[in-house]
């Protein structure tokens, strides 16, 4: 009668033979090693499991978080570059409007008439509205040219109908043809010293989340631009007997300084853009170096792996062959 023999009994019986040293074979372990080696031969990469990386495990654990951090820093730089580009575009638009305003003044300064002055006034009001819209531009729910903690727009009311504009009109009404410098100075002082949010917030040329070395007079540049526009929009058409050329020339000179100031602001942003690009390039270079190091810790030596796989296959074949022979031997004993 044949007795039912379990694998454990076979191994036990096998262990009592002269081949007892083979008892240490762990077939499951060998099969797992074989599968891992086959995967490494196929992919050319060591096992993704850190525990299977051997002596490279610590280096691998150290490199991956550093690469992740570099990626995060580079993403932040890309965001800053995008924000800065948006601001540069808006400042470029401010420069364009300011240049157009100067061209307009030049075209009318030697041809003063009631119609021309009226047209100049109206265009100045349009420029005031256009610049207000630019300064109040938003990205998401944040104002581009405002303090980061300021939840109100940089310009909180319509300047053309504001109390500040009425004050400028009152100043311009005192123009006599000989006090153009005084009129310009008084108008600029009124704008620079206007109460908070009447109409300007605490800063109308701030750059939240941007490490930009701005000209110290950035805010006054924008306010002087509005002052120049409000002076022209407030010229009294009914007082054409007064010679407005001196006042227009004063405004033209002041606005030329505004343009230079805006170009300096644009230049500062350009320098910061270059700095950000340099930082991004350095981070990318470091990432490439670290990624190469990381890959080297994971790359499989195909020659070595092939030899190991061949050895494992030989061990498995020998193990299964010996177990089969011992199984036949044991069954013969029980017949």
Instruction: Say how many domains are in the chain.
Output: 2
Whether the pTM exceeds 0.85: the reply is: no
What confidence score (pLDDT) does residue 86 get?
A: 87
Domain match, 102 and 234 both: yes
Its domain, for residue 319, covers 1-14+34-43+303-328
Query: Is residue 9 located within the same domain as residue 133?
Result: no
Walking along the chain (335 residues) 10 residues at a time, the average pLDDT comes out as 40 42 54 65 53 55 79 90 88 96 84 76 95 89 71 86 94 88 94 87 61 69 95 80 81 95 90 92 87 64 62 70 60 48
The two three-digit tokens of residue 83, written as one number:
């924000």
Answer yes or no: do 129 and 236 share one domain.
yes
The closest of 285, 279, 269, 278 to 73, measured between CA atoms, is 279
The predicted pLDDT at position 300 comes to 52
DSSP state of 148: T
In this structure, are 214 and 321 located in the same domain?
Answer: no
pLDDT at 42: 58
- Residue 74 forms part of a structural domain: no
Identify whether residues 260 and 315 lie together within a single domain: no
Query: 235 and 109: one domain?
Result: yes
Asked which of 223, 243, 269 is the last residue of a domain, the reply is 269
Same domain assignment for residues 121 and 224: yes
Residues 240 and 312 in one domain: no
- Which residues contact residue 268 at a Cβ distance below 8 angstroms, ignoring those fewer than 6 apart? 212, 213, 214, 215
pLDDT, position 326: 59
Q: DSSP labels for 231-255?
A: HHHT--GGGTTS--HHHHHHHHHHH
Distances (CA, A) of 214 to 207, 218, 266: 9, 7, 9
């Amino acid at each position: 009668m044949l007795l039912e023999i379990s694998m454990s009994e076979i191994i036990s019986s096998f262990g009592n033979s002269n081949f007892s040293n083979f008892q240490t074979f762990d077939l499951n372990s060998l099969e797992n090693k074989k599968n891992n080696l086959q995967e490494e031969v196929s992919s050319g990469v060591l096992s993704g499991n850190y525990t299977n990386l051997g002596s490279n495990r610590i280096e691998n654990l150290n490199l991956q978080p550093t690469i992740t951090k570099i990626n995060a820093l580079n993403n932040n730089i890309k965001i800053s570059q995008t924000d800065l580009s948006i601001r540069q575009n808006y400042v470029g638009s401010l420069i364009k409007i300011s240049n157009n305003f100067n061209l307009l003044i030049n075209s009318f300064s030697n041809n003063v008439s009631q119609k021309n002055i009226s047209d100049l006034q109206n265009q100045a009001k349009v420029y005031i509205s256009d610049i207000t819209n630019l300064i109040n531009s938003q990205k998401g729910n944040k104002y581009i040219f405002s303090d980061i903690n300021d939840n109100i727009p940089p310009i909180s009311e319509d300047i053309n109908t504001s109390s500040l504009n009425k004050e400028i009109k009152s100043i311009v009404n005192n123009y006599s043809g000989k006090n153009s410098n005084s009129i310009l100075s008084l108008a600029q002082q009124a704008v620079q010293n206007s109460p908070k949010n009447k109409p300007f917030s605490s800063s109308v040329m701030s750059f939240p989340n941007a490490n930009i070395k701005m000209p110290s007079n950035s805010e006054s540049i924008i306010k002087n631009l509005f002052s120049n526009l409000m002076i022209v929009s407030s010229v009294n058409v009914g007082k054409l007997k007064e010679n407005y050329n001196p006042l227009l020339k004063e405004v033209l000179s002041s606005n030329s300084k505004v343009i230079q100031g805006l170009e300096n602001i644009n230049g500062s942003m350009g320098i910061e853009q270059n700095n950000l690009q340099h930082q991004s390039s350095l981070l990318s270079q470091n990432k490439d170096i670290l990624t190469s190091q990381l890959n080297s810790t994971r790359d499989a030596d195909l020659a070595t792996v092939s030899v190991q796989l061949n050895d494992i296959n030989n061990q498995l074949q020998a193990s299964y062959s010996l177990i089969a022979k011992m199984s036949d031997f044991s069954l013969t004993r029980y017949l």
